[in-house]
Each structure stands twice: as C-alpha cells, then as structure tokens.
Amino acid sequence: MSKCDRPLAIESGSPAFDAPLHVGRPNLGDRETMLRRVNDIFDRRWFTNDGPLVKEFEARIQELVGVKHCVAMCNATIALEIAIRALELRGEVIVPAYTFVATAHALQWQEITPVFADMDPATHNISPEAIERLITPRTTGIIGVHVWGRPCDTAAIEAIADKHKLKVMYDAAHAFGCSHRGRMIGSFGACEVFSFHATKFINCFEGGAVVTDDDELAAKLRLMRNFGFAGVDKVIYPGTNGKLTEVCAAMGLTSLEAMEEIVTANRRNYEAYREGLLGLPGISLKKYDSSERRNYQYIVVEVDETTAELNRDELVAVLQAENVLARKYFWPGCHRMEPYKSFFPNAHLLLPQTELVAERVVVLPTGQAIDTSAIEMICQIIRQGMLQAKAVRERLRQA
C-alpha cells in the first residue's frame, strides 16, 4: 500500500507511528563524554554549589553569547524570578500574553502584576505599540519574550522603556544560539534569561541562566542564587536556592559540544517540513530568517481555518491519532489561565491578535530524535487529513 492509500488512524485506529513522536524529545550530546564527566563528579565528590563544571558551563556561555556574566541557575523559571527581583521590578510589569505561563508566574509569584500585551501576528512577539498603551504610573518594567527564538523588536521596546524610565529584560528561553542584528541574543536589555530544560535545544536536564554585562547586577544575582551568602556564615541579602548542580552542568557542557550537530538536525527537519507542507491551502510554516543565527528549535505551523479544510484542533486530533503528539503552544494564552483569568476576565478584549494566533498554532516534532522520513510521513498525514476533511469531521463528531 502506498502512503497515500493508507487509511488515517482517526478512521482505522492503526497509527502511523508505533511509539509517540514528542515535540520536546531531548537532544543528546556524546554519551561517553557525559558518562566520563559524571564519573569525574563522583571522584571529586563535589556535586553542587558553584562547582568546577558549573563554572566551565558559565564561561562557555559567556564566550558564546559575548557577555561578561552568565549566572547559571536550576531552571529558567527560578532564573526569571531572581532576575526580576534583582532588577527591583514591582507594581506592574508588561509581558506578552502569548508565552509559556512561567513568564507571567515568575512575576505573580512575587506579587507583581503581569500586564498582558498583544502580539505582532507576523512574529508572534510582543507588540511595541501594545506595550505603550498599557503603561501606567505603576509600571516598572517590560519583559519581552523572543518567542520561538525569533527576536523581539528590541530597539522599539528599549526606546519605549527609555522614554518612560522603565527597566527591560528578556525571556530568551527559546533563543539560545540565536542572533539579532548581528549580535547574539543574551546581550540585550538589562539581562536575558535562557532555559536549558530537557526539551530545549541545549539542555542540562533542568537548567537556566541569567546573562548580563552589568557587574553589579551579576553580583546580586549570584548572591540571590545562593541564599544571600557572601562567604561562610555571612549572609548579606535575602536569597533563595537557584543553584545548578554539577551533573546538570555536565549535561549542559556535553550538549553545548553537540550544538552545531543539533542545529544541523533542526535545520534539516525545518527544510523537510517546508518542502512537505508547500502549497497546502491554509497551512503556513513560520519562517526562520537564515541571514541571522537561528537554532531552528520549533516547527511552528499556523492553520488558517478560513482557507484550510480542517481547523487547528481537528488537525491536532488527526495527528495525535497517528501518535504524532503535536502541541498547541501557547494556547489559550496566559490571560486565559489562572489566576489571570479571574483577575482580568476581560483581558482578551485587548488581545485580538493573541486570541487569533493561539487558535491557529500547532507545533510539530523536531530535534535529533526524528528523521526526514518521519517528517515526510507527518506532512503526508496533514495533506491526507485536509483531503479527507469531511470524513475526519464526521469521525470527530461521533467520538
């Protein structure tokens, strides 16, 4: 049977893939090198608290990003919280509604109100015009998010911040290894935060970092990451425990050594999806600007229900039946999650583009764990789903 003749799993119950294809399957560096590093950690009996591998990891990131300081942390959420506190943000801070909920929670966790701004639908990033409309006397800062690794309009955001005397930091969880106007992301604003979670392009199992060129801020971040200790028995600041462990740093270093291979695999996958989805009405793959450095970490497709045969949710159902665990990031938007939904029940009225895009986006599997033949199959399933839209809809109605 050719691929085209194969019945869709949503109809036949027999999925195209035996094992689930995840969006965030972790990438791996060289296994032997990692195991050697873990053995060395055991020999040294130095497991955490600013160990030699954490220091090496920080130095590598400083060099790659071109910043003076990298303060490694246990994950990006804690890194955001610490950075927000170190910058002394309070009152209201403007953030995009279209982001992973951690961006908003990092503020709310310390009783700062996240004020949700709408996006530019072309980039999915926070709209500078929307930011300006939301500034009040309580606003102290702006957190831009480089969604999918595509840079925010940093020049416009920073001009607004200068005009209103606000602080700017960026959530760069998706943007490690990416550049903007020839400069690496990580070097914009007062500081930027990377995520090295298992599902990220470069991973530490769990990990994050704040990067900055500001010596004073970096010193404060280091203190806050380690309970405020400025030496044995000497606490000079309220702090928390945001430390990265040695085994996580070992994973990060090993992952960094494989960075070029991972980018190559991601780019190969992106090109395969581009080819496979070409010409499908209502289906558009978000493009990467290859004149800048990109990590190609996310395969983001928009389904325009006015021209596509199936809407996004119907397409996701077709894919999931085939064991392709496509995701609807960042549906329904932070403003429609708790506690924000209860705090601001009418927020959606100010977020028309976020509302539209959040209903259209589907993120597809990529990374080292997937090959181009699997991608061809995924694209074929999408094509076939669209061709057999009537039958698919009927089946979903019955389910």
- CA angle 175/177/178 to nearest 5° reads 60
DSSP state of 345: T
103 binds ligand T4K per the rule CB under 6 A: yes
CB within 8 A of 148, min separation 6: which ones?
Answer: 124, 174, 286, 297, 298, 300
230 binds ligand T4K per the rule CB under 6 A: no
What does the alpha-carbon distance between residue 397 and residue 394 come to, in Å, rounded to a whole number?
5
Which residue reads 């929670």 in tokens? 105
As measured in angstroms, the least distance from the Cβ of 23 to ligand T4K is 5
Interface residue with ligand T4K, options 15, 24, 151, 333 (CB under 6 A): 24
Query: Looking at beta carbons only, is 199 or 353 nearer to ligand T4K?
Result: 199
What does the alpha-carbon distance between residue 179 and residue 119 come to, in Å, rounded to a whole number?
21
As measured in angstroms, the least distance from the Cβ of 71 to ligand T4K is 14
Interface residue with ligand T4K, options 27, 75, 384, 388 (CB under 6 A): 75
Query: Looking at beta carbons only, is 113 or 366 nearer to ligand T4K?
Result: 366
Site for ligand T4K in 121-140 (CB under 6 A): none
Site for ligand T4K in 178-197 (CB under 6 A): 195, 197
Stretch that binds ligand T4K, among 18-26, 123-131, 176-184, 388-396 (CB under 6 A): 18-26
22 binds ligand T4K per the rule CB under 6 A: yes
Interface residue with ligand T4K, options 102, 169, 259, 310 (CB under 6 A): 102
Closest C-alpha to 131, from 123, 143, 121, 122: 143
DSSP state of 365: -
Q: Which residue is nearest to ligand T4K (CB)?
A: 24
145 binds ligand T4K per the rule CB under 6 A: yes
What does the alpha-carbon distance between residue 233 and residue 236 come to, in Å, rounded to a whole number?
10
325 binds ligand T4K per the rule CB under 6 A: yes
328 binds ligand T4K per the rule CB under 6 A: no
Query: Looking at beta carbons only, is 148 or 388 nearer to ligand T4K?
Result: 148
171 binds ligand T4K per the rule CB under 6 A: yes
74 binds ligand T4K per the rule CB under 6 A: no
The alpha carbon of residue 304 and the mean position of all alpha carbons in its chain are separated, in whole angstroms, by 23
What does the alpha-carbon distance between residue 242 and residue 61 come to, in Å, rounded to a whole number?
18
With beta carbons less than 8 A apart as the criterion, state whether 94 and 142 touch.
yes
Q: Which pair of structure tokens corresponds to residue 309?
A: 């045969």
Interface residue with ligand T4K, options 28, 134, 198, 374 (CB under 6 A): 198
| H or E element, residue 28 | none
Site for ligand T4K in 379-398 (CB under 6 A): none
76 binds ligand T4K per the rule CB under 6 A: yes
Give the relative orientation of helices 389-398 and 372-387 as an angle to the nearest 10 degrees: 80
CB half-sphere exposure, 247, CA atoms < 13 A: 9
Stretch that binds ligand T4K, among 96-104, 182-190, 235-243, 338-346 (CB under 6 A): 96-104
What does the alpha-carbon distance between residue 169 and residue 217 come to, in Å, rounded to a whole number?
12
Interface residue with ligand T4K, options 54, 69, 70, 77 (CB under 6 A): 77
- CA angle 76/77/81 to nearest 5° reads 110
- CA angle 156/186/79 to nearest 5° reads 110
Stretch that binds ligand T4K, among 122-130, 175-183, 256-264, 322-330 (CB under 6 A): 322-330
199 binds ligand T4K per the rule CB under 6 A: yes
As measured in angstroms, the least distance from the Cβ of 105 to ligand T4K is 9
Query: Looking at beta carbons only, is 197 or 294 nearer to ligand T4K?
Result: 197
Q: Assign residue 358 a region: left if phi > 0, alpha if psi is -120 to 50, beta otherwise?
A: alpha
| H or E element, residue 330 | none
What residues make contact with ligand T4K under the rule CB under 6 A? 22-26, 75-77, 99-100, 102-103, 145, 171, 173-174, 195, 197-199, 208, 325, 327, 329
